[in-house]
Every structure is written in structure tokens, then in C-alpha cells.
């Protein structure tokens, strides 16, 4: 099943993208294309994929948050294991496709926001703790590294 066709012009502006046909059927042009769970857009920006991942991971974390509070529920070590074995894999999936030595600040902020929610659950701290201290308390490396 073909959803569409995306063009990736490297530093070129295409006024009218070419028409692509497959077996006499015209394939529509789309701005974003999802291939194997990785979202590509015409400018090859990492942000649409990060937005998708943020929504996906936030849903998982909030569902898990129902099973734990500050003084009750899952053991923080269980949340840590869950993060390392599944959620971190979701966040980093597709990373090699977009990897650059220098992330822009918007990308770093999104990655930190994703990780922060779970670090608060693991450390059972309040929202006023800084990200740097949360990384140390949870014994995590920032995701963008």
C-alpha cells in the first residue's frame, strides 16, 4: 500500500514536483513520509520525527504513571529498567538516520523533555528539580549524547 511519494531536493526549491506513476496510477506527492517508523520530510529535518516520538513516548509514560505516585507504586528501579529496555529504544530508533555532530537547540530541548518525564518518575522528585540534577539522580546520560 503506497501512501505517497516525497521529494528531497537538496537546497533546491521545486515549484512543481514531478508526477510519479506506478502501473498507470498517479502517486500523490506528500510533504512527510513514514518509512519503518521513521518520519522523513522534504527538508530532511529531524523535528517531525521528534514530535511523533514525543507523543508516542508521552502516552506510554503517562499510562505507566497511573501505577505509581511519589510514595506508592512501582519501585523506581523497575521504571529505570523499563526505560533502558524499551522507552530509550523508542526514542533512539531512527537516530542514526538523522545524526549530526551538532544538534540544534530545539532538538535538544525536545529530547530533554521526553526524558525528563520519566526521570521524575524514576527519582520520585517534584517538578522543580533541574534537568542536570535529574540526570545525576537517575544516573542517566542525556539522550542527545
pTM for this prediction: 0.72
Joined together, the cell numbers standing for residue 7 give: 521529494
pLDDT at residue 118, as a whole number: 77
pLDDT in tens, 91-107: 888 878 776 766 677 77
CB 27 within 8 A of CB 4: yes
Domain boundaries, the chain: 43-138
Q: Which helix (H) or strand (E) holds 22?
A: strand 20-22
Rg (the chain; Cα; Å) = 19
Amino acid at each position: 500500500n503506497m501512501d505517497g511519494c516525497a521529494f528531497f531536493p537538496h537546497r533546491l526549491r521545486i515549484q512543481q514536483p514531478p508526477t510519479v506513476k506506478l502501473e498507470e496510477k498517479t502517486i500523490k506527492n506528500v510533504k512527510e513520509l513514514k518509512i519503518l517508523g521513521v518520519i522523513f520530510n522534504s527538508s530532511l529535518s529531524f523535528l517531525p520525527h521528534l514530535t511523533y516520538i514525543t507523543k508516542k513516548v508521552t502516552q506510554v509514560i503517562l499510562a505507566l504513571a497511573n501505577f505509581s505516585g511519589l510514595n506508592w507504586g512501582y519501585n523506581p528501579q523497575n521504571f529505570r529498567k523499563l526505560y533502558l529496555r524499551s522507552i530509550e529504544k523508542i526514542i533512539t530508533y531512527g537516530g542514526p538516520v538523522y545524526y549530526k555532530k551538532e544538534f540544534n537547540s530545539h532538538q535538544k530541548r525536545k529530547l530533554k523533555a521526553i526524558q525528563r518525564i520519566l526521570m521524575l518518575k524514576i527519582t520520585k522528585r517534584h517538578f522543580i528539580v533541574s534537568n542536570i540534577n535529574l540526570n545525576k539522580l537517575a544516573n542517566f546520560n542525556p539522550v542527545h549524547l
